[in-house]
A = this chain, B = another copy of it.
Amino acid sequence: MKQPLLQIALDHLDIPSALKTTRTLASEVDVLEVGTILCCAEGAHAVEIIRSLYPDHIVVADIKGADAGSVLAEMMFSRGADWMTLICCAPYETMEAAYRTASSYGGEIQIELYGEWTFAQARQWLNIGITQAIYHRGRDAQAAGKGWDEQDLEKITRLSDMGFKVSVTGGLSPEDLHQFKEIPVQSFIAGRTLYNAHNPAEAAEEFRKAIHRNWS
């Protein structure tokens, strides 16, 4: 099984803070995600800056788009994003439009699974051509104490069996990863767990070791 990638979500409130993190951690991760918070704070500029500084990383624009798929995809992929997120309740027309634009750049669309969604909808996303999904424990759901459970793992497995490359996120720690070892996870996404750690580089190293240990 292919080893999952390690993805850092840059959910900083401004670009300079994000760059302090990337200076320390970029070499430890495969994927640099310009998080929704950073996108909202600084705009598409943030994607362009991360792309310029890190030409060899996969760069994600985590905008969770719900409409205007073509305009938003053009904005993000033209600035160097490799992947861009849409929210799962976006209309199919938005997904189609974003997918077309992404494809014209050789980029990919990822569907963010928030709230209520169905496997029938997921089938539609595949029909459109979208092959990536992100399975979440939301930031606020985490704060409310919701953990990973059997239902999460079943849903992730089913999405993977359908043909999705599934990324997983939401308050993950290295100790959580073994729960996913039967699944070909695309990326494990961590944010504050990495850059708010006492020693961020060491925290990232722990994730990489856990990935290696479970998917070698």
Chain A contacts to B: CB under 8 angstroms: 11, 13, 36-37, 39-46, 63-72, 75-76, 87-91, 93-94, 96-97, 112, 114-117, 121, 136, 138-141, 143-144
**Identical subunits present:** 2
Give the distance to chain B from A50, nearest Cβ to Cβ, in Å: 14
Q: Is A89 a contact partner of B91 (Cβ separation < 8 A)?
A: no
Q: A41-B44, A43-B42, A140-B94 are in contact. Are A87 and B64 (CB under 8 A)?
A: yes
Nearest 6 interchain pairs by C-beta: A89-B115, A93-B140, A43-B43, A89-B89, A42-B43, A94-B140
- Residue from the list B46, B64, B75 in contact with A66, Cβ < 8 A: B64
Task: List 29 contacting pairs A-B, 8 Å CB cutoff, sorted by A.
Answer: A11-B71, A36-B67, A37-B68, A37-B71, A37-B72, A40-B43, A40-B44, A40-B63, A40-B72, A41-B43, A41-B44, A42-B43, A43-B45, A64-B64, A67-B114, A67-B139, A67-B140, A68-B139, A70-B140, A87-B87, A88-B89, A89-B89, A89-B116, A90-B115, A91-B115, A91-B140, A93-B143, A93-B144, A94-B139
- Residue from the list B40, B76, B90, B114 in contact with A91, Cβ < 8 A: B114
Chain B residues with Cβ below 8 Å from A117 are: 89
Chain B residues with Cβ below 8 Å from A138 are: 66-67, 90-91, 93-94
Give the distance to chain B from A103, nearest Cβ to Cβ, in Å: 16
- Residue from the list B43, B45, B68 in contact with A140, Cβ < 8 A: B68
CA distance A109 to B173 in the complex (A): 32
Give the distance to chain B from A121, nearest Cβ to Cβ, in Å: 8
Smallest CB gap from A14: residue in B: B43
Chain B residues with Cβ below 8 Å from A90 are: 114-115, 138
Give the distance to chain B from A78, nearest Cβ to Cβ, in Å: 11
Q: A43-B43, A140-B94 are in contact. Are A89 and B72 (CB under 8 A)?
A: no
Give the distance to chain B from A48, nearest Cβ to Cβ, in Å: 11
A67-B140, A90-B114, A93-B138 given; name 7 further pairs at CB < 8 Å.
A40-B63, A41-B43, A42-B45, A68-B140, A89-B114, A91-B141, A97-B143
